[in-house]
Amino acid sequence: MTNRTTGCTTLLVLGDSTVDPGNNNHLPTTARANFLPYGLNFYGRRPTGRFTNGRLATDMLAEKLGIARTIPGFFDPNLRLAQLRRGVSFASGGSGYDDNTANRINVVSFSAQLRNLLRYKLLIRTLLGPRRAERLVNRATFVISTGTNDMLSVYLATNRSNAISMEMYENHLIAHVANYTQAMIMLGGRRFVFVGLPPMGCLPITRTLVGTGSDRCDETLNQLAISFNSKLVQLLNFINYQHQIRISYIDTYTIIHDATVDPKTFGLAEVSRGCCGSGVIEVGQTCRGRRTCGDPSRYMYWDAVHPTERTNELIANVMMDSIRELYS
């Protein structure tokens, strides 16, 4: 199925819990969301492993493109050829650009996701033949959404005033992005959508742990997100120029920040706490079986970290615009 307005036929997704449709369900990790109230507003009101109340931004993007209603996980044992052709997600909740971030909690590191991408390519070569498989990957859009777990784990574990070490760590992550992108290009990737870091200092859990309270964000952490995003954009521009491929950057920071400052414009009412439980600390296992707010569509966050389906829709709309440019 090809979208007439873009020509995009396949989505290949890598990253963290923002784009993991349930791969972690098949791992020996506590970083899971395959229980209620996660999935409360998903099809059939069932938990799938998505860290939200409904669909992820990549699910909604796939629907807007006319590819599929959802993007399944690569570890889904029920994957069919038709789904493999439309796209899969290799993402794993809790991972990051730094493999140490994933290894600490037994989830799939970015390096391992790339190895799974190679397995995917070999699989479709077997199913479709080498030429058709190569063409499918060349025409695919690669969506990469990760980095928040890296920055949060280091920021919260170290002396937050140590700006020098944080800058060095940013550069360390950017070097990883360069290597990973090179690997994806070698595997046949030609079109990429990179999602930037959100205003991490505004996450409900960050406000709680850092102690800023519900009335304000941690600006030091927000500045780190801005700094990282700036370096990411510079790198992507360089790669774009060097390889003559197409790369788009999704400015999640501005989307979330604008909605935090002016929620009514975006149809939101609550932007400082999540819908699950108290909304200030629950995430994953601590959200299990907790009561939820009455109307998640009015909340920016589902738990103390992850966006609601409504917020994911805002991001998906921007993604759709960027994909039109990739195929123009």
The answer to whether residue 273 is domain-embedded is: no
Q: Could you tell me if residue 4 is inside a domain?
A: no
Choice among 157-166, 237-246, 295-304 with the minimum mean pLDDT: 157-166
DSSP per residue, 33-70: --STTTTTTSGGG---S-SSSS--HHHHHHHHTTS-S-
First-to-final CA distance of the chain: 18
88 within a domain of the structure (yes/no): yes
Model confidence, pTM: 0.96
Q: What is the pLDDT of residue 156?
A: 85
Residue 235 resides in a domain: yes
Query: Does 279 reside within a domain?
Result: no
In a domain, 40, yes or no: yes
For residue 163, pLDDT over 80 is answered with no
Residue 1 binned pLDDT confidence (cut-offs 50, 70, 90)? very low
Mean pLDDT of 205-232: 93
Token pair of 162 as six digits? 């140590």
Asked if the structure places residue 89 within a domain, the reply is yes
pLDDT at position 160 is: 53
The answer on pLDDT for 2 being more than 80 is: no
The CA-based dihedral angle spanning residues 98, 100, 104, 107, taken in that order and rounded to the nearest 10 degrees: 50
Tens digits of residue pLDDT in 47-98 = 999 999 999 999 999 999 999 999 999 999 999 999 999 999 999 999 999 9
Owning domain of residue 59: 11-256+305-326
Mean of the per-residue pLDDT values of the chain: 95
Nearest CA-CA partner of 318 in 202, 194, 232:
194
How many separate domains does the chain show? 1
Q: Is 3's pLDDT higher than 70?
A: no
Which residues are known catalytic residues? Answer: 17, 303, 306
Q: Is residue 282 part of a domain?
A: no
**Residue 47: which CATH number?**
3.40.50.1110
The pLDDT value recorded for residue 328 is: 82
